[in-house]
Amino acid sequence: MDRMLVVVFDNETKAYEGKKALQQLDAEGSIGLYGYAVVGKNPDGTSSLKQSDDVGPLGTLVGTSLGSLIGALFGPVGMAIGATAGMSGGATADLLNVGVSEDFIDDVTKVLAPGKVALVSEIEEDWTTPVDTRMEAIGGIVFRRALSEVNQQVHDENVAAMKADMAQFKAEHAQASADRKAKLHDKINKLDAKIQAQLETAKQRRQAAERAAQAKAQILKAKASKAAAAAA
């Protein structure tokens, strides 16, 4: 299962240990590590990028999910960090782009106090024990959330509801007085604009998901090639 993972450490040294632990677990086959970033919360409340995975195929991936999560956790500075790390494709605080809910962000930010350092990553894992055991041994506090497709269902329901309202407005418009027709016409236009905006957002998210899937496939292919070369 693909998950967003945030591990909060007391300092930068421990965060780097956590990063190395993730890489080792990936090499062992216990997890699949798609991308990561180490981000610090400075004493004055600002944020700074400490380290991130190489930008390559990964740049597309983090631009659609990991960069967005960093933006949601670290605010405007986090979004700037995302752009610096090649995450500009989708580094926004729109949680729907991340696939996690506000309660997840709230849980992390309560622990992510000034002076703390977070290891933010997207991973694939079948069970949680390997990551939890390694991170807790280093002193990390682990937060994870499975990437959800519930957002698409919510979007579809919203669009369906707006279309039902549109149909009602049009039915009333056909029988309304001239004065009422003008008001209904305005409502119809505004609602249509909202529907089109929702559809465009859904299109952008589908494209982002496709880019993420392609990036993950490239990462897995690169790992397989490296493993084959090492075995030869």
- What's the N-to-C CA distance of the chain in angstroms? 31
pLDDT at site 25: 95
Residue type at 9 in one-letter notation:
F
**Under a CB-based contact definition with an 8 Å cutoff, are residues 77 and 46 in contact?**
yes
Which pLDDT tens digits describe the chain residue by residue (232 residues)? 888 899 999 999 999 999 999 999 998 989 988 888 888 888 887 777 777 665 444 444 445 567 778 777 876 544 444 444 444 333 334 555 556 667 788 899 899 999 999 999 888 898 899 999 999 999 999 998 877 544 555 567 678 888 888 888 888 888 888 888 888 888 889 888 888 887 887 777 777 667 777 777 777 788 778 778 887 7
Q: Which has the closest alpha carbon to 90: 194, 201, 195, 14? A: 201
Residue identified by tokens 């589908």 is 206
Residue identified by tokens 């991130």 is 52
How far is the CA of 114 from the CAs of 11, 73, 111, 220, in angstroms? 10, 13, 9, 36
User: SS3 breakdown of the chain: % helix, strand, coil, rounded to 5?
Assistant: 65, 15, 20
0.85 exceeded by the pTM? no
Q: What is the DSSP string of 149-195?
A: SHHHHHHHHHHHHHHHHHHHHHHHHHHS-HHHHHHHHHHHHHHHHHH
- Tokens for 86, please give them: 């090649």
pLDDT at site 134: 96
- Tokens for 56, please give them: 């390559």
How far is the CA of 160 from the CAs of 99, 201, 222, in angstroms? 21, 15, 42
pLDDT at site 80: 46
Q: Give 35's strand partners.
A: 122
pLDDT at site 113: 92
Instruction: Determine the Cα–Cα distance for residues 209 and 103; give it in Å rounded to an integer.
Output: 23
- Tokens for 136, please give them: 């807790």
Q: What is the DSSP string of 25-60?
A: HHHHTSEEEEEEEEEEE-TTS-EEEEEEPPSSHHHH
